[in-house]
Every structure is written in structure tokens, then in C-alpha cells.
């Protein structure tokens, strides 16, 4: 492929990808213009008696006015842009935005999901509109619910029309750029973009490139939330599945080379960085097992893994799903990419995750189609509306809240009963609060466009915000369990067994951040910690097993009053270990005030004293499969020894983790010296990506405390 080439590309276009990559390293991701136009249209339609139709009309109006932009070299188009406004527009937007400030429901989660890309690619938006016409024709007018359903269906059709208008406007812009282009090849490229945007997403995709463009465009279109302007991060699902028929057909027809496919895949991956702000997590999954036991392993599987190396940006966050019989070469490729200092792919245990999904009521077919909906939260593809990490719970803080006075808990068992009763109340309170939030969202928000791509919204005539999705879970995340386990072990040992300290003395030490109790701090730090492969019930590992079992059982007691509504536990943190750490005083595990909590469900930072094998054995000493809300285990290896020779040892370690029932493992390969230099000279390390608590981010853009936390993680050798 030449730098500006079009069809018939014969080699991977390194120059194009490097140029697009450089532009995406510092993107301006701002959806304000859409919301300006949306709010203005919504409030000017205030006399419309239909809430959903008002939303739909405003969406269509915004798509009709939203600025479209295509940069030279882009092959996959669709990203936020803006322009200068007239004085009249500014005043119109000011009034509408001011009114909107007081009407947006602020609670809850959005976009932790992947839509039904197969439906989109096989039907197109026009085909989905025809499907809706069928549902409208079948409505029973004697059904008292028919009016509500009709209202929803008409709103959904209006939103689909808006998407088609937006695509046509991109086609118009591409044709305009083609007329202005001075280079013939660039003009041809713009004309091809125009032809594709005239075709998709309105009609079914016919080719590999049309399929990629259609999926990318609709994902961009749904990345604005009516009445809820927020940062959205819709995932691309399993593209090595939904793209495979188009890839194979084009290869067989001789109209697609692997080099062209790789270039298009990389363009798709770069485009994610142009629509999703930094600090989130957005990507896709590959691999895994189909319901018929077939392992997914094809050229696209490997192409998307290699894209991490090609793109070298914070997105896509690639999850590689391993099974017990995943081909050796696929896992090896993933490890090779990680050895280059990339922060992904993260490695997920497909067998464990599918087991957990079936436990929570999914069929084998549904359980085989899941996505790490941002970091590690597992949500069913094309049929779910899950509120992840709702809420995060600070486990060490919950323990500190019930530390007894001297004599109040005569035995350690008394202390644990008090702690579990407290946790039980807190989980119930949080579940009630989140459920109320869902009811509020159902009353004051709707998303008819997104509902077109999520089962069973169209099938039942019910908006996704009203519970139309097939699975409506809430998944609280319990942060700092490793700190909690170390703290419980320390309390049992020093208070109840050695009688070395009283609770009054320990509370005073916590209040002084251990400054007045250096001997106690030294004694705590000398105790065994979670991560040292001590799995007896009374050890830190044993406490993680005990606490995790309690959390899973407690969540199972609760139901969310929407279809298939469950409370499902998770144990990951995104950036909450840093946020909680900054607001949490010293804790009984010896952690000082202000320092981040443990960064996942593995050992706390710096406490893996017995090496990576012991860490893996500890991290898998308890059952992961019920924690479908997500588990993150981070491991950091020194770059100087992570090489071709050591890959065998790392591969054995990963396989051990997976064979023992580990949920997900993410590996950082870097070195302290590089991180220290990046902290001092950030301008030289703008694209240094590191893994945090389930997601990746640019190291130089992290908070100072988060940078310190990453640096202080145990650095393993192999």
C-alpha cells in the first residue's frame, strides 16, 4: 500500500498508521457541540407530549447539524468535531444548556457494554427500521400498553433516520474534499469514503471495509447519551467473530490482502482514541470458545492482538480470552506483545468466565458472547444494561469503621461477626440506593437509538433505560480486599494471640499515621502478607478466601427489580484505589495515610516478597468464577529480563494462573528507571502506557500518587 493508497493495497501502510497514531496521541475528544444542538432542539420542542419523541427529534436534529470532519489519511471516519458558532447560535445554546443543567439524571452507569454488531451488519439501519415496522404492524390496539410501545418504536425509527443523515453528511464532506484535493490518489480515497458512507450503516455491509466502517460509525453515533452528557466508552465486542465472514469472503474474492486488512484494523483501533477520552478503558475482545466448543483462533484474532504493537496508544484495551485448549501460538503472541512494554492484551480465563455466566443464568450461547465492558467487568454482549462498580466499596475503611473499643469483642470471632453484620447492612443499603437510581433513570431518561441494538428492547417494545435489556445487573466492586486481609491477620495475631497491643493503642497509632507507634508499624510489616502462598484458613490468603466467599453469598441474597436483575460482586478498582487511598487514613495492615489501596485482587503493592509464583498461588487460592463483575490481578516484570528466553517461564506462570481458576491477569513489563525518568521528563515519554487497576493509561498523565503507586509495585524477575 502506498502512503495515500486506496484499494488494491499490497503492503502494510506503516507511514499512514504512524501519522494517524501521532495525531491520536493528543486528541481533542469533545462532544459539547452535539449536546448544544441536542439541548436546543429538545427544549424548543417542549410542547411535544411524547418524552421519547422529543429525545428522538432532538437526536436527529443534532446529527443533522453536528460538524463532520475527515482528516487526510483516515480510512475509517466518524469522530467528534466542532466549529465556530454565530452569535445567534451561542445565545440559543446558552439558554438550552442552562435549562439542561437541572434536568439530567446524574446517577448510574452508561456504555459498559457492546451492541449487536451482527444485527447492524446484516440488516443495516434501514433493515432495523423495517423490523420496527413489523413490530408496529403487529401491535394489538386493544393492549393498554400498545400506545407506549408505539411511542418507543417511532422514536427509535427517528433516531435511525438521524444516523443515516449523519452518514450522508460524511459522504457529502468526503465528496467535497475529493473535489478540493490536488493529489489524484487522495481524491480517489475521499471518493471511496463517500461511496462507503452512502452505503453503510444504512444498508447491510458487503465487504470487510464496509463492515468496519459501519460498526465504527454506529459506535460513534451512540457515544452521545440523550439527556446524560457523560464520558462513554462502548466496546467493539468480538470483532474476530463478527468481521470474520467479511474477511474470508473478501480474501476468497481476491479483493482484500492481509496487509490491507491489517491497515484497516489499525485504523479502527486508532479511531477509538479519537472518540473516547483518556482515563477510561475502551476496546475489544478476541479468542474464547463458541457454544459448540470450537476455540476462536483465526487471522483476525492475531491481527487485533498485533494491533496493540502497531498502534501503541492507550486504546484499544484488548482482552485475550484463553481456554484450556487455546492454540499455543496465540498465547505466545500475546506475551510477545506484552514483552515489548505494552500494557495489553489483558489475559482472561474464558473457561472460568463462562462458568460464572452460566451460574448467573445465561445460556451457553449467551455465555460465550461477553465483553470486558471497560476494565475487567464482564457483561453479556448485545443484551445487557449493567451498572458496573455500583458502588465501589472501600473495604479497609469499612473495617476501620467498626474497630471496637477494648473489651467490646472478647474474641476474634466476635470481631468478625460484627464486621460481617456491618458489611451486610452496607451492601443492602447500597443495593437499595442503586435500585432507586435505576428507577429514576427509567422515569427521566431514554435511549431509543441504543435500544435498537440491544436485545430484548425491540422485541418487547421497551427502552433500555426502562429495563428492556435481557440482563439488568448491578455489580458492586470491593476495593482493597488485600489490605483488608492483611489487616485482619495483623489484628488477630497482635491483639488476640500475642496480646501485644490493645485496640485503643492501635486506634491511637492509626490517628498518628503510626508516627507515635514505630514499633507497632515494624511489627505489622514483619508479619506474613497476602501474596506469600500461605493458604491456611487463618492466614492472609485464608482471609481473602473467607471474605470473598461472604461477599459472593451476601450479594446473592439481593435482586434488582428489572428483568434478570441481580447483584453480582466484583473486585477491581479502575482508579478508585488511588482516590480511596487519598481519603483514607492509616489502616491496620501497616498502610500509611494517603497511599493507594491494593490495585486489584492480587497482593497489595510491594508485598509479593516470595516472587511471582507465590503471588499467583495466593491470587488463585480462592474462587474467582462468581465475581463476574470483574477481577484484576496485576503483575509487573522488569523489562531487562523479560525477553525471548524468559517468555517460556512467563507462559508457564500464566498457564498456572489460568489452570488454577484465575479470572484475569494483566502484565506490565517496564523498569523503575524508565518510570522515574518519565516522571522527571514527561515530554520525552508522552506515549508510555502502563496498566493501572484494570485499565491502561499514559504514565505521564497520572496523578503523582498514582505514579508513585505504579513505581512501588513489586517488580518480578523470571
Please give, one letter per residue, the 3-state secondary structure of 431-470. HHHHHHHHHHHHHHCCCHHHHCCCCCHHHHCCCHHHCCCC
pLDDT given at position 606: 79
Instruction: Point out the domain boundary residue: 568, 599, 631.
Output: 631
Instruction: Point out the domain boundary residue: 224, 259, 286.
Output: 224
pLDDT given at position 716: 58
As for how many domains the chain has, the answer is 2
Answer whether residue 194 is part of any domain.
yes
Nearest alpha-carbon partner for 552 in 614, 635, 629, 649: 629
Question: 672: helix, coil or strand?
Answer: helix
Answer whether residue 716 is part of any domain.
no
Nearest alpha-carbon partner for 618 in 670, 662, 558, 585: 662
Answer whether residue 192 is part of any domain.
yes
Answer whether residue 107 is part of any domain.
yes
C-beta separation of 74 from 186 below 8 A: no
For 506, the enclosing helix (H) or strand (E) is helix 503-511
C-beta separation of 575 from 706 below 8 A: yes
Q: How far apart are CA 482 and CA 601, in angstroms?
A: 7
- Residue ranges making up the domain that contains 192: 31-224
For β-strands 633-638 and 664-670, DSSP reports them as parallel
Residue with cell 473495617: 399
Instruction: Point out the domain boundary residue: 224, 257, 289.
Output: 224
Answer whether residue 229 is part of any domain.
no
Q: How far apart are CA 104 and CA 445, in angstroms?
A: 8
Q: How far apart are CA 298 and CA 678, in angstroms?
A: 37
C-beta separation of 381 from 369 below 8 A: yes
pLDDT given at position 684: 86
Beta strand ranges found along 110-256 (DSSP E): none
pLDDT given at position 6: 39
Nearest alpha-carbon partner for 81 in 150, 11, 170: 170
Answer whether residue 76 is part of any domain.
yes
Residues of the chain with pLDDT under 70: 1-10, 640-641, 693, 713-718
pLDDT given at position 2: 36
Residue with cell 433516531: 159
Residue with cell 473489651: 407
pLDDT given at position 641: 63
pLDDT given at position 10: 54
Answer whether residue 189 is part of any domain.
yes
Answer whether residue 483 is part of any domain.
yes
All three cell numbers of 218: 454506529
- Give pLDDT tens digits for 469-510: 999 999 999 999 999 999 999 999 999 999 999 999 999 999
C-beta separation of 61 from 41 below 8 A: yes
pLDDT given at position 9: 46
Amino acid at each position: 500500500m502506498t502512503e495515500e493508497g486506496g484499494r488494491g493495497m499490497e503492503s502494510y501502510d506503516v507511514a499512514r498508521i504512524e501519522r494517524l497514531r501521532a495525531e491520536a496521541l493528543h486528541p481533542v475528544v469533545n462532544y459539547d457541540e452535539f449536546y448544544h444542538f441536542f439541548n436546543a432542539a429538545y427544549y424548543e420542542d417542549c410542547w411535544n407530549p411524547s418524552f421519547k419523541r422529543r429525545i428522538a427529534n432532538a437526536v436527529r436534529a443534532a446529527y443533522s447539524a453536528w460538524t463532520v470532519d475527515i482528516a487526510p489519511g483516515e480510512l475509517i471516519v466518524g469522530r467528534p468535531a466542532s466549529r465556530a458558532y454565530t452569535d445567534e447560535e451561542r445565545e440559543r445554546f446558552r439558554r438550552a444548556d442552562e435549562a439542561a443543567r437541572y434536568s439530567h439524571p446524574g446517577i448510574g452507569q452508561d456504555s459498559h457494554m457492546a451492541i449487536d454488531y451482527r444485527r447492524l451488519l446484516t440488516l443495516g439501519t434501514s433493515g432495523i427500521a423495517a423490523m420496527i415496522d413489523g413490530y408496529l404492524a403487529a401491535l394489538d390496539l386493544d393492549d393498554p400498553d400498545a400506545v407506549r410501545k408505539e411511542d418507543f418504536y417511532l422514536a427509535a425509527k427517528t433516531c435511525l433516520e438521524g444516523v443515516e443523515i449523519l452518514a450522508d453528511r460524511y459522504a457529502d464532506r468526503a465528496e467535497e474534499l475529493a473535489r478540493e484535493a490536488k493529489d489524484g490518489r487522495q481524491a480517489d480515497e475521499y471518493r471511496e469514503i463517500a461511496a462507503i458512507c452512502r452505503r453503510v450503516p444504512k444498508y447491510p455491509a458487503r465487504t470487510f471495509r464496509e463492515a468496519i466502517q459501519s460498526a465504527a460509525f454506529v459506535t460513534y453515533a451512540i457515544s452521545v447519551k440523550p439527556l446524560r452528557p457523560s464520558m462513554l466508552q462502548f466496546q467493539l465486542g468480538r470483532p474476530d467473530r463478527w468481521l470474520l465472514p467479511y474477511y474470508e469472503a473478501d480474501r476468497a474474492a481476491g479483493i482484500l490482502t492481509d496487509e490491507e486488512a491489517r491497515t484497516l484494523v489499525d485504523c479502527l483501533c486508532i479511531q477509538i482514541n479519537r472518540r473516547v477520552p483518556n482515563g477510561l478503558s475502551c476496546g475489544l475482545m478476541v479468542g474464547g470458545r463458541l457454544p459448540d466448543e470450537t476455540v476462536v483462533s483465526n487471522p483476525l484474532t492475531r491481527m487485533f492482538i498485533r494491533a496493540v504493537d502497531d498502534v501503541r496508544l492507550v486504546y484499544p484495551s484488548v482482552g485475550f480470552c484463553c481456554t484450556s485448549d487455546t492454540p499455543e501460538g496465540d498465547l505466545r503472541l500475546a506475551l510477545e506483545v506484552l514483552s515489548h512494554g505494552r500494557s495489553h492484551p489483558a489475559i482472561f480465563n474464558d473457561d472460568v468466565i463462562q462458568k460464572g455466566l452460566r451460574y448467573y443464568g445465561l445460556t451457553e450461547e449467551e455465555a460465550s458472547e461477553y465483553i470486558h465492558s471497560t476494565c475487567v467487568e464482564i457483561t453479556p454482549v448485545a443484551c445487557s444494561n449493567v451498572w458496573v462498580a455500583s458502588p465501589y466499596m472501600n473495604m479497609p475503611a469499612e473495617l476501620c469503621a467498626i474497630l471496637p473499643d477494648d473489651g467490646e469483642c472478647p474474641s476474634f470471632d466476635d470481631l468478625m461477626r460484627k464486621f460481617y453484620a456491618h458489611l451486610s447492612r452496607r451492601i443492602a443499603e447500597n443495593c437499595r440506593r442503586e435500585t432507586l437510581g435505576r428507577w429514576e433513570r427509567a422515569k427521566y431518561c431514554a435511549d431509543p437509538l441504543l435500544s435498537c441494538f440491544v436485545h430484548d428492547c425491540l422485541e418487547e417494545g421497551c427502552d433500555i433505560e426502562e429495563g428492556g435489556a435481557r440482563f439488568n445487573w448491578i455489580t458492586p466492586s470491593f476495593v482493597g480486599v488485600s489490605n483488608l486481609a492483611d489487616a485482619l491477620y495483623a489484628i488477630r495475631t497482635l491483639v488476640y494471640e500475642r496480646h501485644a497491643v490493645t485496640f485503643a493503642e492501635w486506634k491511637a497509632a492509626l490517628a498518628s499515621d503510626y508516627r507515635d507507634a514505630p514499633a507497632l508499624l515494624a511489627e505489622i510489616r514483619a508479619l506474613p502478607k497476602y501474596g506469600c502462598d500461605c493458604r491456611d484458613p487463618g492466614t492472609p490468603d485464608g482471609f481473602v478466601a473467607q471474605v470473598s466467599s461472604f461477599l459472593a453469598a451476601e450479594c446473592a441474597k439481593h435482586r434488582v427489580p428489572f428483568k434478570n436483575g441481580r447483584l453480582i460482586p466484583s473486585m477491581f478498582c479502575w482508579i478508585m484505589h488511588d482516590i480511596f487511598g487519598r481519603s483514607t487514613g492509616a489502616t491496620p495492615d501497616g498502610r500509611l495515610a494517603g497511599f493507594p489501596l491494593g490495585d486489584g485482587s492480587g497482593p497489595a503493592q510491594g508485598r509479593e516478597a516470595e516472587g511471582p509464583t507465590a503471588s499467583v498461588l495466593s491470587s488463585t487460592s480462592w474462587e474467582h468464577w462468581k465475581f463476574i463483575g470483574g477481577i484484576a490481578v496485576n503483575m509487573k516484570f522488569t523489562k531487562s529480563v523479560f525477553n525471548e528466553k524468559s517468555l517460556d517461564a512467563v507462559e508457564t506462570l500464566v498457564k498456572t494462573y489460568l489452570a488454577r481458576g484465575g479470572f484475569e491477569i494483566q502484565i506490565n513489563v517496564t523498569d523503575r528507571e524508565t518510570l522515574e525518568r518519565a516522571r522527571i521528563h514527561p515530554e520525552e515519554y508522552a506515549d508510555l502506557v502502563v496498566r493501572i487497576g484494570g485499565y491502561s493509561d499514559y504514565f505521564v498523565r497520572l496523578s503523582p500518587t498514582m505514579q508513585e503507586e505504579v513505581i512501588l509495585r513489586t517488580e518480578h524477575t523470571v
